[in-house]
Amino acid sequence: MQQARTRAGSQTKFLLEESQLPRHWYNIRPDMPTGLQPVLHPGTGQPVGPDDLAPLFPMELIGQEVSEDAEIAIPDEVLELYSLWRPTPLFRAWRLEEAIGTRSRIFYKYEGVSPPGSHKPNTAVAQAFYNKQEGRTRLATETGAGQWGSALAFACKLIGLECKVYMVKISYEQKPNRRSMIQAWGAEIVPSPSEETQCGRAILEEHPDSPGSLGIAISEAVEDAAGRDDTAYSLGSVLNHVLLHQTVIGQEAVAQMELAGAFPDVVIGCVGGGSNFAGLAFPFLREKIAGREIDVLACEPAACPTLTRGLFAYDFGDTSKLTPLVPMHTLGHDFVPAPIHAGGLRYHGVAPLISQLVRDGLIRAEAYLQNDVFESAVLFAGSEGILPAPEAAHAIHGTLQVAKEADEAGEERTILFNLSGHGHFDMGAYDNYFAGKLEDVALDEDEMERALHAIEGLPVPA
């Protein structure tokens, strides 16, 4: 009751006007203490140039991939599409704070208000726009949980491009409704590994029951795009330009925290390839690099512990070794993570930008078991009302850990986390959790060693 009285008259949602939408994306590269190591051509071992990437990406995105400009203007057409769901709300989690009895203040940025239900369209509309502008008529992509596939299908539909989605087979089976959503936005969708590409067929021959992985689905989409002039490849995470497009999240959050009269001591996000985490965290990391004290925490699944247990190494972005070699934390390109329900976090690598910032000690990481994550998701849904995506629930779990540690130390923190998406298409996962059927999988040492053999003989980063 005491808490409730304190809350009366206090604000829950911090909203920006459409006119306050950020006009540029924030590029963290010029602010980083250590520069990125180059992406290498696997054949020559030399840094890749624009011509190597031109068959897969439009020139504007290739330029953004290597840009050292601090700000990149957002085209008006993209801003117009953003205005369908942006700016997104920032909430003070009063009820969650009460439920756990913490002295800390908890805020969250909610990206689930976009039409597909996550942060993914922030880059999907930008990528579709530049591809259309440079004359491509079709995009090919992969999707894990289905969030990225639906975001790109949505963007292509609104911008006027064809779209082909290779969906990781386990998710294709677990999430028939995401499939229909992708089809509703006019995209073609197949389970991966599929019979439609050479690499899909090769994997099926060796492992007919393969549940698929993001690494495999990326191979299929890259092969598709490389084989057709009308088609470009589109990636929903990992690459510099994708993380760049997501920085609208953090820029809005900086302004909204100001409206709330607060600034975070701790910034938290879940990490698959790293795009929603970067989107929220990078504008705050700019402040940290400038000397402000902020704890920046990346949350990942124990079944795919790329940042906490992987190596920083050159590795392929996909299973069939079609991509350039990328300097990043990795578990090895042929690692197939256990079929946990946070499908969007089942990727063997992490964005080079995040990997480098972890190496520089600016970001720390923790890994969690899925039953603990779902327990936190249900606690959150029971207090704040929103049913989170299993991926986003990792950030909720991380937040609860930080609040608990602060309470135990007799301290209070201002915590901000990214609620990257809702879980309305993840009810099968919740069904399994309630039925006690979710397996807790922590990656075992033997499998990790086996998978890391795949990177032996590849160039070693400095």
State the number of binding residues for ligand PLP (CB under 6 A): 21
Closer residue to ligand PLP (CB): 123 or 194: 123
Dihedral angle computed from the Cα positions of residues 76, 82, 83 and 85, in that order, rounded to the nearest 10 degrees: 180
Q: Take residue 332 and report the two structure tokens written for it.
A: 């090895």
- The secondary structure of 249-291, three-state, reads HHHHHHHHHHHCCCCCCEEEEECCCCHHHHHHHHHHHHHHHCC
Are 275 and 152 spatial neighbours (Cβ–Cβ below 8 Å)?
no
The least distance separating ligand PLP from the CB of residue 427, rounded to whole angstroms, comes to: 15
Q: For the chain, give the number of residues.
A: 462
Contact between 421 and ligand PLP (CB under 6 A)?
Answer: yes
For the CB of residue 422, give the shortest distance to ligand PLP in the complex, in Å.
Answer: 8
By the 8 A CB rule, do 390 and 422 touch?
no
Site track for ligand PLP across 321-360, x = CB under 6 A:
-----------------------xx---------------
Residue 145 as a binder of ligand PLP (CB under 6 A): the answer is yes
Residue 240, interface with ligand PLP (CB under 6 A)?
Answer: no
Q: How far is the CB of 332 from ligand PLP (least distance, A)?
A: 19
The answer to whether 275 contacts ligand PLP (rule: CB under 6 A) is yes
420 binds ligand PLP (CB under 6 A): yes
- Return the residue of 27, 37, 118, 171 that touches ligand PLP, per CB under 6 A: 118
Closer Cβ to ligand PLP, 249 or 458, answer by number: 249
Longest pairwise C-alpha distance within the chain: 67
Cis peptide before 47 (omega within 30 of 0): no
Q: Contact at 8 Å (CB) between 364 and 399?
A: no
Q: Does 297 bind ligand PLP (CB under 6 A)?
A: no
Q: How far is the CB of 152 from ligand PLP (least distance, A)?
A: 11
CA distance 117 to 148: 10
Minimum distance from residue 51 beta carbon to ligand PLP (Å): 27
* Helix, coil or strand: residue 101: coil
Indicate which single residue of 222, 244, 328, 389 sits in contact with ligand PLP (rule: CB under 6 A): 389
Among 237, 320, 330, 356, binds ligand PLP (CB under 6 A): 237
- Which CB atom, from 212 or from 344, has the smaller least distance to ligand PLP? 344
SS3 106: strand
Torsion of Cα atoms, 392 then 395 then 396 then 400, to 10°: 170
Q: Distance (Å, rounded) from C-alpha 91 to C-alpha 97?
A: 12
Q: Does 171 bind ligand PLP (CB under 6 A)?
A: no
Amino acid at 254: V
Among the listed ranges 36-44, 66-74, 264-272, 398-406, the one in contact with ligand PLP (CB under 6 A) is 264-272
The window from 183-191, 250-258, 269-277, 316-324 that contacts ligand PLP (CB under 6 A) reads 269-277
Residue closer to ligand PLP, measured from CB, 90 or 145: 145
Q: Are 156 and 128 in contact (CB under 8 A)?
A: yes
272 binds ligand PLP (CB under 6 A): yes
Sign of CA dihedral 17, 19, 25, 30: negative
Binding mask 23-42 for ligand PLP (x = CB under 6 A): --------------------
Q: Are 232 and 56 in contact (CB under 8 A)?
A: yes
Nearer residue to ligand PLP within complex by CB, 286 or 341: 341
Which residue from 203, 232, 257, 271 is in contact with ligand PLP, where contact means CB under 6 A? 271
CB of 407 to ligand PLP, least distance (A): 27
The least CB distance from residue 394 to ligand PLP, in Å, is 8
Q: State the Cα torsion 455-278-283-403 to the nearest 10°.
A: -110
| Whole-Å CA distances, 193 to 171, 176, 218, 226 | 12, 17, 10, 17
Is there a contact between 295 and 417 (Cβ–Cβ < 8 Å)? Answer: no
Query: What residues make contact with ligand PLP under the rule CB under 6 A?
Result: 118, 144-145, 147-148, 237, 270-277, 344-345, 389, 391-392, 420-421
